[in-house]
A = this chain, B = another copy of it.
Amino acid sequence: MKSILAEVITIGDEILFGQITDTNTQWLGAELTKIGIRTVRKSSVGDQKDAIIGVLKEATERADLVIITGGLGPTKDDITKVTICEFFNTTLDRNPEALAFVTKFFESRGRQITEINAKQADLPLNCTYIPNDWGTAPGMWFNENETVYISLPGVPFEMKNLMQHRLIPMLQNHFETPAIVHKMILTVGIGESFLAETIAAWEDALPGHIKLAYLPSFSQVRLRLTGTGTDPIQLRKELDEQVAAVLPLIQQYVFGYDDDQLETKVAELLSKKSWMLATAESCTGGFVASQITRFAGSSAYFVGGVVSYSNTVKVNQLGVKPETLNQFGAVSEETVREMAEGVRKNLGANVGIATSGIAGPDGGTPEKPVGTIWIACSTEKQTVSRLLKFGPHREQNIQLTSVHVLNLLRQTLLEEQEE
């Protein structure tokens, strides 16, 4: 079977000039992979006609599917539609179905449609109109000379909804796709090169149609196995066998697979024990709580937390003893343990986790340089604490601390489960 090759093109000076974060192409790459379409290139070009036509021509030579996002807004800097017309040698025409949709969209929000809004309904004559349920810029599908072109609005949730509910089914219907199967092993607490040394012999013995990649980020390394072939069930079985073979070498670092996240694994462990969690944060400033509450349903196992930036809050809300703060300081094993115990008791939780450290870039001392961070986890049975030593980068320190305190929580929950 022939591989279906895709290229993703994002349009916008704001992307080239680094003024917005492009999350669309990542998401599109992942969705295409899931249906066995292989993304071979992503490109971003500016809002210039020549650049857009150039990249469209190049992509046409390489790909079976070209997806274009961005440049469909109502304002004057958006020239995508006009340029697409030039590329296909066609013209814009006001699409009655699209106009009815845009009119209704504004009316349902109690607003009159303006001429700028109405222009959203002007579409190239050769396109199939794909309604956008959540916005006014429509999707467009073109099928020219055995290549499919899709144009999508740049607003992420509109683009995602259009793809998921309209275009993915159309693509699956249109193309005959090969089987690409992924399996991800998620590790925490081991560096990339040491992981590579540990599994070198296993990796060397992988068959040619199974590829391995290391995806490191913030004290976590994800190992991605990709199998390509024709039979997804056979491929899945082969990947599972490879995972079973490597697992004994790295068991202690593995916390999950595929879409698992530390937060969701912790959630599972808490739910299994019917335990409630509370957080006490100094240096992470609410980041740990926000990571936990990103997930729907977190109120089932998360009671709440205290962000104790000032010592007064540590004393009054968490019950840290003023003597402890005086004697050992806010960034100390003694303080972080009292924070974890205090938040557990004061908020009526079964387990409390705490962070206290110098996130930086300022505030370090010779004894406690920037990046010195204490974490703790407290249950009725025990309180465990760890010292972390990171570098001078505030954002990184906050994220790394969050990973480590959640991993400490995970380890504590596993340990108390086994007893």
Interface string of A74-90 (1 = CB under 8 A from B): 11110000000000000
When chains A and B are docked, how far (Å) is the Cα of A75 from the Cα of B204?
Answer: 12
Of the listed stretches A168-176, A192-200, A265-273, name the one at the interface; the rest are far from the partner chain.
A192-200
Are B317 and A306 closer than 8 Å at their CB atoms? Answer: yes
Interface size on A, residues (CB 8 A): 106
Closest to A180 in B: B17
- Most chain B CB neighbours (cut-off 10 Å) among A31, A32, A215: A215
Interface residues of A in 27-64 (CB under 8 A from B): 27-33, 38-47, 51, 55, 58
Assembly CA distance A46 to B7 (angstroms): 12
Give the residues from 274 to 327 in chain A that come closer than 8 angstroms, CB to CB, to chain B: 276, 279, 281, 284-290, 292-294, 296-299, 302-310, 312-313, 316-317
State the CA gap A32–B13 with chains docked (Å).
13
Nearest chain B residue, comparing its CB with the CB of A395? B294
CB distance from A392 to the nearest CB of B (A): 10
Residue in B41, B360, B394 whose beta carbon sits within 8 Å of that of A43 in the complex: B41
Tell yes or no: A201 within 8 A of B by CB: no
Q: A21-B26, A298-B285 are in contact. Are A45 and B55 (CB under 8 A)?
A: no
Interface centre among A41, A193, A216 (most CB of B within 10 A): A193
Contact, CB under 8 Å: A305 / B304: no
| A313 & B304 in contact (Cβ 8 Å cutoff) | yes
> A74 touching B196 by the CB < 8 A rule?
yes
Number of copies: 2
For A276, the chain B residues whose CB sits under 8 A away are: 310
Chain B nearest CB from A255 CB (Å) reads 17
Docked-complex contact B203 and A76, CB < 8 angstroms: yes
Question: In this complex, what residue of B is CB-closest to A314?
Answer: B304
Q: Is A222 an interface residue (CB 8 A)?
A: yes
Q: Smallest CB–CB gap between A283 and chain B, Å?
A: 8
- List residues of chain A with CB under 8 Å of any chain B CB: 12-23, 25-33, 38-47, 51, 55, 58, 73-77, 114, 116-117, 134, 136, 155, 157, 182, 184, 192-193, 196-197, 203, 211-217, 222, 224, 226, 276, 279, 281, 284-290, 292-294, 296-299, 302-310, 312-313, 316-317, 346-348, 359-362, 391, 393-396, 398
A286 B308 Cβ-Cβ under 8 A = no
15 A-B pairs in the complex with CB atoms less than 8 angstroms apart: A14-B224, A18-B28, A20-B217, A21-B23, A22-B22, A22-B25, A22-B26, A41-B45, A75-B214, A76-B203, A286-B290, A293-B307, A304-B309, A304-B317, A306-B317
Shortest CB-to-CB span from A311 to chain B, Å, is: 10
CB pair B192 A74 closer than 8 Å: yes
**Residues of B with C-beta under 8 A to A13:** 211, 213, 226
CB of B77 within 8 A of CB of A214, answer yes
CB contacts (< 8 Å) of A309 on chain B: these are 293, 298-299, 302-304
- In the complex where A55-B41, A157-B396, A308-B304 touch, is A224 in contact with B116 (Cβ < 8 A)? no
**B33–A41 contact, CB under 8 A?**
no
Contact B117 A76 (CB under 8 A): no
How far apart are the CA atoms of A294 and B197 in the complex, in Å? 36
Partner of A39, one of B17, B28, B136, B395: B17
